[in-house]
Chain A
Amino acid sequence: MTTTTTTQLTLGKALNSGLRRALADDDRVVLIGEDIGALGGVFRVTDGLQAEFGETRVIDSPLAESGIIGTAVGLAMRGFRPVCEIQFDGFIYPGFDQIVAQVAKLHYRTRGHVSMPITIRVPYGGGIGAVEHHSESPESYFAHTAGLRVVTCSTPQDAHTMLRQAIASDDPVLFFEPKRRYWAKGEVDEDIADALPLGKARVVREGTQVTLVTYGPLVATAIDAAAAAEDDGVSIELIDLRSLSPIDFDTVEASVRKTGRLVISHEAQQHGGIGAEIAASITERCFNWLEAAPARVTGFDTPYPPASLEEHFLPDLDRMLDTVDRVLGRPNSLSNWEA
């Protein structure tokens, strides 16, 4: 007989319950970050955890991102499994060196003798009307870095499951949390024994004409886009990538061999981004199956704009569908556009 462990939670609360489980299951798990103690983090993701597990395991750090990551390296070498919180996406850069030069490389540097089971949580993405440095999508920097795993969730269940899987991984994991979806609700089952592995993509919706690949905050947008397309007689297969390093190309490849068309969407800037990598890799793998060139619908190659302009920067349902029309050869915004 199985017991029901499912509850209705917001994505933020699902992360909180994931952290609580990780702390309870393994006394080597420690949390470190700014304002994660009494305040519970600026998004309340660590709410109540310091009171429950103490100041030694839920550590309010000095305001220094390199210090947070660098001390996590030392804690990991001592046998702990640190979970770092970077308060906002745009605050990660002072810790960039420790992440790419130390966390990512110590396993390789020590010929496998040292592991870095460090999870670095990063609220990311825009759409919340914030000031500068609070709406960025820096995932490509880290996906480009050998030695790191990079994942992102789009549902409360994945938030809970993937965070626990990330903490249990012996590799360092950059865990990107779609901050504008923190309040989205969904069912969460804490029994994750049979969950999809961390590196796997999920087909959210099956379709036949276009493969739409996205991740994180845009999955919800893409679900709406696919529903709208269906009303218009277009069948979209929607893939939630979940993992950005490694990318589950096998799942994308299988889909594109079926649909013959590929659209990739992310908030991050286009140049050198995840979409570029997917377009290139899938073209290499599926050239003979493609009916149209893969297309991207992304943030522009500008800095993240002021809040009053972010609706133009962020891909939305209409831009996604316009790009879907393009790969289908239907009339679209670029129909009369000449290079």
Chain B
Amino acid sequence: MLRESVTEHGTADLLEDFVQLLKPDGSRVANPTFDTWVADVTDEQLVSLYEDMVVVRRIDAEATALQRQGELGLWAPLLGQEAAQIGSARALRDDDFIFSSYRENAVAYCRGVALTDLLSMWRGHSHGGWDPYTVNMAVPAIIIGAQALHATGYAMGIKAEAADSVAITYFGDGATSQGDVNEALVFAASFDAPVVFFCQNNQWAISEPVGVQAKRHISERAPGFGIPSMRVDGNDVLAVMAATRIALDRARGGGGPTFIEAVTYRMGPHTTSDDPSRYRTKDELEEWKGKDPITRLEALLESTGALSDEVRARVKAKADAVAGELRQGVISMEDPHPLSVFDNVYAEPHSWLERQKSQYAAYLETFEGDER
């Protein structure tokens, strides 16, 4: 189940050397070890996962549209990574704590982050947007891989308190080249920290293919740190959920950290500022469209009769409603007050900053009455 050592067969070109429970055509693959971890998932729950994935894809599309219309400065689409994010996030307990990068919009959605809070960063109204403690999810880290250390430290704190919560950190294939991720693996292993390293290998770090970051499977690195790992089909919501549950269970039981490599694909650009046509082929995208995470779950649900027209219509209505709420929330966001630039730099008073603030306030007052 868990890879404890570096194997002989893990060259990076063997993409599908992973655990898969749900094939792209929607048929189930039997896997006695992993199946037991999702055996309790009912048709109803599968429909719920399907709904999540459809809704977050709709959020993604709406946010991209809002960016194109000038309502957002930037957006980092998760298109194609819905199963990796929903399957893992839905495996978590409310008291588990998430440290993510900036593409985990579906994870934030699962955590109940308000849509306007999620979007305020991309509209340029905040650098983060939400209160991490109300949803047990830190605001996104933009510096690549920095959050892996935060999760590890948080998990060291959990362990010191003898609590059974788990910290989970999300990062991409590019981040695995960063020192911080590697240092996090060292610290997590040394202190048996209850942390899950969840790597979404989406094949691309902006324009650089994963081969620039890793000559062998990323999941093979973890055993060298003393951390067992799993490599799963990241477009298979069941395999992702099973792997995450295994890792969480290990952590809660005092087993320490686990590393999951979820093999997925960033079907969209890195951000709305990116142009993937400069560095990858249409054929590659078409190939991955054939492995779409939503399509395969849809096929499974159709085969079992769980996806009636009525359910389909309900899910679509939900997605449309969320998108409408998102759009309305973004457009009606109030501009922050100019002097709020000085807010929350420090928790306690700071003499020279207060002086700068009062001086800028005096400057602004010279425009009173102007149309400015």
Contact = CB atoms under 8 A, between A and B. Distances in A.
Are A and B genuine complex partners? yes
Interface of A: 30, 56-57, 59, 61-62, 64, 66-67, 69-80, 82, 94, 97-98, 101-102, 105, 107-115, 146-147, 149, 169-171, 199, 245-250
Interface stretch (B6-14, B132-140, B264-272, B317-325): B132-140
29 contacts: A59-B156, A59-B191, A64-B187, A67-B149, A67-B152, A70-B150, A70-B184, A71-B156, A74-B99, A74-B149, A74-B154, A75-B153, A77-B97, A77-B154, A78-B161, A97-B143, A98-B146, A98-B149, A102-B141, A102-B143, A105-B127, A107-B347, A109-B128, A110-B131, A110-B132, A113-B133, A170-B347, A245-B350, A246-B351
Interface of B: 97, 99, 126-133, 138-139, 141, 143, 146, 148-158, 160-161, 167, 179-180, 183-184, 186-187, 190-191, 343-348, 350-353
A30 B180 CA distance: 21
Give the top 7 A-B pairs by smallest Cβ distance, nearest first. Answer: A74-B153, A70-B149, A71-B153, A78-B157, A74-B154, A67-B183, A112-B344
B351 A74 contact: no
Given A56-B160, A70-B146, A74-B153, A170 B139 contact: no
B27 to A, nearest CB: 41
A110 B153 contact: no
A62 B186 contact: yes
A300 B88 CA distance: 55
Contacts of A114: 132-133, 138
Most chain B Cβ neighbours within 10 Å, of A64, A79, A107: A64
Contacts of A76: 153
A30 B345 CA distance: 24
A67 B188 CA distance: 10
A61 B187 contact: yes
A71 B184 CA distance: 8
A30 B160 contact: yes
Nearest to B99: A74
Contacts of B97: 77-78
Contacts of A110: 128, 130-132, 139, 344
A74 B344 contact: no
Contacts of B143: 97, 101-102
A205 B153 CA distance: 45
B346 A147 contact: yes
Contacts of B191: 59
B251 to A, nearest CB: 15
B131 A73 contact: no
A149 B154 contact: no
A98 B154 contact: no
B133 A147 contact: no
A75 B344 contact: no
B127 A102 contact: no
Contact of A78 (B146, B154, B343): B154
A134 to B, nearest CB: 22
Nearest to B189: A62
A231 to B, nearest CB: 36
B345 A146 contact: yes
A111 B99 CA distance: 17
A75 B347 contact: no
B345 A62 contact: no
A42 to B, nearest CB: 20
Nearest to B153: A74
Pick the most buried of B133, B157, B158, B180: most chain A CB atoms within 10 A of its CB.
Answer: B157
A74 B127 contact: no
A27 to B, nearest CB: 10
Given A59-B191, A78-B153, 6 more contacts: A69-B149, A70-B152, A77-B138, A97-B180, A102-B141, A247-B352
Contacts of A249: 351-352
Contacts of A70: 146, 148-150, 152-153, 180, 183-184
Given A71-B149, A78-B158, A98-B149, A66 B183 contact: yes
The CB with the most chain A CB atoms within 10 A, among B131, B179, B184, B187, is that of B187
B347 A250 contact: no
A248 B351 contact: yes
B150 A149 contact: no
Contacts of B345: 107-108, 146-147
Nearest to B133: A113
Nearest to B127: A109
Contacts of B155: 74
A32 to B, nearest CB: 9
Contacts of A171: 346-348, 350
B211 to A, nearest CB: 26
A328 B130 CA distance: 56
A209 to B, nearest CB: 27
A54 to B, nearest CB: 10
Given A73-B150, A109-B127, A79 B348 contact: no
Contacts of B131: 110, 113
Contacts of A250: 351
A67 B344 contact: no
Contacts of A97: 143, 146, 180
Nearest to B141: A102
A149 B351 CA distance: 11
A111 B128 contact: yes
A199 B191 CA distance: 36
Contacts of A82: 153
A115 B131 CA distance: 11
Given A64-B183, A107-B347, A101 B154 contact: no
A224 to B, nearest CB: 30
A105 B347 CA distance: 11
Contacts of B149: 66-67, 69-71, 73-74, 98
A57 B156 CA distance: 11
B343 A112 contact: yes
Contacts of B180: 66-67, 70, 97-98
Nearest to A74: B153
